[in-house]
Amino acid sequence: MPARDEETGPPFPAYPHEVLAVVLSVREGRLQVLLWQRRLPPHARRWSLPGGGVGARQRLRDALGAHLAEKVDVREIAWLEQVATHSRVDRDPRGRALATAYLALVPAGAEPRLPQDTRWYDVDALPRTAFDHHHFIEAAVDRLRAKLSYTNIGFALAPAEFTIAALRTIVAAALGHPVDATNMQRVMTRRGMIEPTGGRTSPGSSGGRPAALFRFVDRSLTVTDPFAVLKPPSAQSEA
């Protein structure tokens, strides 16, 4: 039965609420999302975002953490933020259900243990997804790409130490277009986002010069330029 507020009088409906995680990471040089394959109807065999229901006394983040711990071993989440809520009345054929999704970023190089029904997919080559989950993925990717322009959110995608070449690969994959390493380093250094560690990579078998190692100055989110917009190379040349 719908709950009733004795002071206001009219009852209000209690809809089921679920929470979903759009877990993004740069893997094999591509931005990928973590999906698991449903076993039961509705949408059996389709791929969906990890998550589940929210208990009557649970906060959204607490519910999400519990579902991730139960279904996938993702412990190295470097950034988590709410990205979208969908309330379309027919989004779930079983009945009215609200869904809130979070953007979760995992650094490159992290290797969470995944069950057999779970795998990484390129964000630009998604399989058929369950319910409206592809809309949440699109929203999370758009949010990430926007924040790469004006914040230091790259720290959540990069390992603790990296070369400029490795960081360029990560940023380019996240943005979905090529990035000039020299310009990226100049911009990030000017904004105080990255700094050299003083270390270098080990010499390779070919005897090449070891590359300098860098790190993010701050591994918490900061706005570095509120007016910046990163554009693809073609757009930059036309501007």
The residue ranking higher by pLDDT, 64 or 204, is 64
Query: What are the percentages of helix, strand and coil residues in the chain, rounded to 5?
Result: 25, 30, 45
Say if residues 222 and 189 touch (Cβ distance below 8 Å).
Answer: no
| Residues near 106 by beta carbon (within 8 Å), at least 6 away in sequence | 23, 24, 25, 74, 76, 77, 78, 112, 156
Distance CA 228, CA 77 (A): 26
Read off the CATH number of the domain in which 195 is found.
Answer: 1.10.10.10
Instruction: Tell me the pLDDT tens digit for each residue of 1-45.
Output: 444 444 555 565 567 999 999 999 999 999 999 999 999 999 999
d(CA 178, CA 81): 26
Q: What is residue 219's three-state secondary structure?
A: coil
pTM of the model: 0.88
End-of-domain residue from the set 85, 118, 148: 148
**What is the C-alpha R_g of the chain?**
21
Residues 22 and 90 grouped into a single domain? yes
Q: Please check whether residues 10 and 118 belong to one and the same domain.
A: yes
- Flag whether pLDDT at 236 surpasses 70: no
Query: Using 50, 70 and 90 to split pLDDT, how confident is the model at 239?
Result: very low
Q: Are residues 216 and 136 part of one domain? A: no
Mean of pLDDT values over 154-183: 97
Beta bridge partners of 3: 12
Among 57-61, 92-96, 230-234, name the one with the lowest average pLDDT: 230-234
pLDDT of residue 70: 82
Domain boundary among 118, 148, 178: 148
Do residues 142 and 157 share a domain?
no
Which domain CATH number covers 90? Answer: 3.90.79.10
pLDDT band at residue 220, thresholds of 50, 70 and 90? very high
**Tokens at residue 230, please?**
């990163």
Q: 27 lies in which domain range?
A: 3-148
Q: Same structural domain for residues 125 and 35?
A: yes
129: left (phi over 0), alpha (psi -120 to 50) or beta: beta
Asked if 107 and 19 count as a contact pair (C-beta separation under 8 A), the reply is: no
Domain count, the chain: 2
Lowest mean pLDDT among 28-42, 95-109, 184-198, 224-238: 224-238
Other beta carbons within 10 Å of 164:
18
The tokens describing 142, both together, are: 């758009």
115 and 38 in one domain?
yes
Beta carbons of 199 and 161 less than 8 angstroms apart: yes
Is the C-alpha dihedral spanning 28, 32, 37, 43 positive or negative? negative
Determine contact, residues 34/50, Cβ cutoff 8 Å. Answer: yes
Give phi and psi for 90, each to the nearest 5.
-110, 20
Q: Enter the DSSP assignment of 93.
A: T
